[in-house]
């Protein structure tokens, strides 16, 4: 399947075939780089929210292991390199960032300079998380670079089961780090002289 080349996009995430369905109607994800040096992400979960475990709002801070509960994620790499970043955004406002040399070969980024701005709104059957990250803080990314992006979510049911959502899944068990999950291409502008 070809990769889609975009400057901004909105898409519905797809449930992994290996996941439990839960009471989720849809997860929509958007990415946009219309503002210089930033990527803006928006995730909208449409579901019976009362049947899901949604983390309560907490102090915005870096926390490992957010993917073990309800969280939204963005994977960002460059077109011609195996290196990439992973960002985890929790509805609690907690976050995590990682840098990888290649497939699952990485380390946490613990500097608060990587902290995304996260806002969450929950009404009735809808939870929306919006966040931005600064591209100028990411050493792998330069103006004119073509990014590979994966948009994903992990949703936890009241019974503790997890479902895995992405733009695209590789065959077999869910694996957001797999290159197949990086389903969007986004060409960053080159600044004019």
Domains of the chain, residue spans: 31-164
Name the range with the highest mean pLDDT among 4-8, 55-59, 72-76, 180-184. Answer: 72-76
Give 98's strand partners.
86, 108
Q: Span 54-62, mean pLDDT?
A: 93
**Mean pLDDT, the chain, integer:** 90
Distance, in Å, from the CA atom of 50 to the CA atom of 40, rounded to the nearest integer, reads 28
Question: What pLDDT shows up at residue 142?
Answer: 86
Range in 13-17, 72-76, 88-92, 139-143 the model is least confident about: 139-143
Sign of the Cα torsion 24, 65, 33, 38 reads positive
CATH code given to domain 31-164: 2.60.40.1190
Q: What is the pLDDT of residues 173-193, one digit of tens each?
A: 899 999 999 999 888 877 665
Question: What pLDDT shows up at residue 2?
Answer: 47
The two tokens of residue 95 are 């976050």
Residue 93 scores a pLDDT above 60: yes
């Amino acid at each position: 399947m070809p990769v889609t080349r975009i400057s901004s996009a909105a898409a519905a995430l797809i449930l992994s075939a290996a996941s439990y369905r839960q009471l989720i109607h849809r997860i929509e994800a958007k990415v946009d780089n219309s503002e210089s040096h930033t990527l803006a992400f928006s995730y909208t979960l449409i579901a019976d929210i009362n049947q899901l475990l949604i983390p309560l709002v907490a102090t915005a801070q870096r926390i490992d292991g957010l993917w073990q509960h309800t969280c939204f994620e963005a994977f960002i790499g460059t077109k011609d390199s195996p290196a990439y970043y992973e960002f985890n955004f929790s509805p609690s406002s907690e976050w995590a960032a990682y840098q990888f040399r290649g497939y699952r070969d990485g380390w946490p980024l613990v500097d608060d300079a990587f902290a995304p701005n996260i806002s969450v709104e929950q009404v009735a059957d809808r939870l929306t998380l919006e966040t931005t990250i600064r591209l100028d803080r990411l050493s792998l990314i330069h103006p004119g670079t073509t990014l590979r992006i994966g948009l994903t979510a992990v949703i936890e049911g009241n019974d503790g089961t997890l479902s895995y959502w992405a733009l695209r899944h590789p065959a077999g068990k869910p694996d957001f780090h797999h290159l197949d999950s990086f389903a969007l291409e986004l060409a960053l502008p080159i600044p004019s002289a």
